[in-house]
Amino acid sequence: MAKTYAISRLRVAATAAILPRLDIPTPLSFVGADSSLALCRMMASSGLQRVLVVTDKALLSLGLADDMLATLKEAGVAVEIFSDVEPDPGFEIVLDGIARLKAFGANAVLAIGGGSPIDCAKAINLCHANDCHPRELAGLWLYARARKPGLPFYAVPTTAGTGSEVTMAAVISDKQAGVKLSIIDPRLLPIGIALDPKLTLGLPAGVTAATGMDALTHAVESYVSALAYPETEGWGVAATRLILGNLEQAHRDGSDMAAREAMLLGSYLGGMAFTRAGVGYVHAIAHQFGALYHLPHGLANAILLPFVLEASRPNCDQRLAQLARLVNLPCDRDDDDALATAFIARIRQLNAAMAIPTTVEALRAADFDRIIDAAFAEAHGTYGVPRYFEWHDAFTLLRRLLPEPGAATT
């Protein structure tokens, strides 16, 4: 195991040396009420004629896309709607989307929705351009297999959480194998995005909580990552400050436009940070919970975040303390230990205030080996985790998440 960890550290160190030098594009961003319509007008003025809109049926039924679709059509843009996206979209949905794109002859793609529609649209677009199955593009971006860029791509998030609108990753499920795969390539990034708080006003409180904690996880994991550098650190601090200062209000009063806009900005900045500095064990384990138990990704991250940070101590104490100072977190003492403790306590307090559970109802001890093996395979050598877990560390962490404490068996 020691040799394996040494190799993983070398891979992370090599990545850390390269990352700050990479030219990762930043989408043109429209921000504020009705910014989604401004994005649509820009798309139309750029000469686009046929746009595939990727979304889900629930969003369509709520009418959230109506004004955007009308704006495009009024400008003479033909629109085809692909609304078959489900949570954690699998290969079949991506392949269906590719077929729809080809049949329609689209010359651009617009994703409207949360992380699932945006990730699905990314995969549809890049797989179509490279005439391949999504499995063929999965893997580390340093070894990206795509040869051609996709069609002009645009995204409008309707949740403040995934940051998918500014990340170079698309997570797709292999339903048959019960695993999630990541396509990671800078060519997945949109040309333009809109952060329109009006589209998030109707989000249920539970969704607001889970997606908001997802965004906070991105900010925190990227900040404590060994892959972080000054630019990502600045984004992580700004995201953390915005989310800690506005999530409870957005959860309490979903009609608060200022809080909703702040959360979208926090999610955006968290996405900017983690698409460069990466994430950690929270995501590596959460992906297994999603694949095995269909636990929503944001909720899984929210539950796991304080447990993983606690298990990563004392290696992450200095970074957590720095973050606590920069976001002006109240604390009686200024030493690293006290500030790290206060930061984790703040996360637990936030979770409790929004009724996020402290256990995973579907979790079973019989799945521990599979979860740990898959999480380690994802994280080690890929993520700049502050502390490498041994098997017993991960086992102990999972045991604390069982719905009936102490029910695990070795």
Last residue of a domain, one of 168, 200, 232: 200
Q: What is the CATH number of the domain that holds 389?
A: 1.20.1090.10
**Which residue type does 161 have?**
G
Per-residue pLDDT of 331-374, as tens digits, reads 999 999 999 999 999 999 999 999 999 999 999 999 999 999 99
Q: How far apart are CA 326 and CA 315, in angstroms?
A: 19
Q: Which helix (H) or strand (E) holds 92?
A: helix 91-104
Q: How far apart are CA 199 and CA 68, in angstroms?
A: 11
Residue 406 domain-assigned (yes or no): no
| Same domain flag for 143 and 244 | no
Q: What is the CATH number of the domain that holds 77?
A: 3.40.50.1970
| Residue bearing the bigger pLDDT, 102 or 25 | 102
8-state DSSP, 49 = -
Q: With a cut of 70, say whether residue 197 has pLDDT above it.
A: yes
| Same domain flag for 243 and 183 | no
* pLDDT score, position 177: 78
Closest-CA residue to 213 (of 132, 305, 279, 289): 305
Angle of helix 336-353 versus helix 297-311 axis, rounded to 10 = 150
Residue 15 domain-assigned (yes or no): no
* pLDDT score, position 140: 54
User: What's the rounded mean pLDDT across residues 290-299?
Assistant: 92
Predicted confidence band of residue 409 (pLDDT cuts 50, 70, 90) = very low
Residue 19 domain-assigned (yes or no): no
Q: How far apart are CA 388 and CA 376, in angstroms?
A: 9
Q: Is 372 helix (H, G, I), strand (E, B) or coil?
A: helix
Q: Give yes or no for a contact between 373 and 285, defined as CB atoms under 8 angstroms apart.
A: no
| Same domain flag for 138 and 278 | no
Average pLDDT, the chain: 93
Q: What are phi and psi of 290, to 5 degrees?
A: -70, -45
| Same domain flag for 189 and 209 | no
Residue 4 domain-assigned (yes or no): no
Q: How far apart are CA 155 and CA 167, in angstroms?
A: 11
- pTM, two decimals, is 0.92
User: What's the rounded mean pLDDT across residues 231-252?
Assistant: 98
* R_g of the chain computed on alpha carbons: 20
8-state DSSP, 87 = S
Angle of helix 297-311 versus helix 281-293 axis, rounded to 10 = 140
| Same domain flag for 277 and 181 | no
Predicted confidence band of residue 142 (pLDDT cuts 50, 70, 90) = very low
Residue 7 domain-assigned (yes or no): no
* pLDDT score, position 408: 46
| Same domain flag for 354 and 335 | yes
| Residue bearing the bigger pLDDT, 177 or 201 | 201
| Same domain flag for 38 and 148 | yes
Last residue of a domain, one of 165, 200, 235: 200
| Same domain flag for 259 and 191 | no
Query: Residue 177 corresponds to which tokens in the numbers above?
Result: 């194998």
User: What's the rounded mean pLDDT across residues 33-46?
Assistant: 97
Q: With a cut of 80, say whether residue 148 has pLDDT above it.
A: yes
Please count the structural domains in the chain.
2
The per-residue DSSP string of 130-167 comes to: HT--GGGG-B-GGG----S--S-EEEEESSSS--GGG-
The set of long-range contacts for 16-20, using a CB threshold of 8 Å and a minimum separation of 24, is 16/226, 16/227, 16/229, 16/384, 18/142, 19/227, 19/229, 19/276, 19/277, 20/229, 20/231
| Same domain flag for 171 and 218 | no
Which of 7-21, 178-192, 218-232, 386-400 is least confident? 7-21
Residue 242 domain-assigned (yes or no): yes
* pLDDT score, position 388: 96
| Same domain flag for 342 and 213 | yes
pLDDT > 90: what percent of the chain?
Answer: 83
| Same domain flag for 225 and 342 | yes
* pLDDT score, position 2: 61
Q: With a cut of 80, say whether residue 406 has pLDDT above it.
A: no
Residue 33 domain-assigned (yes or no): yes
Q: What range defines the domain where residue 352 resides?
A: 204-400
Residue 184 domain-assigned (yes or no): yes
User: What's the rounded mean pLDDT across residues 120-142?
Assistant: 87
- In the chain, % helix, strand, coil (3-state, to 5) comes to 60, 10, 30
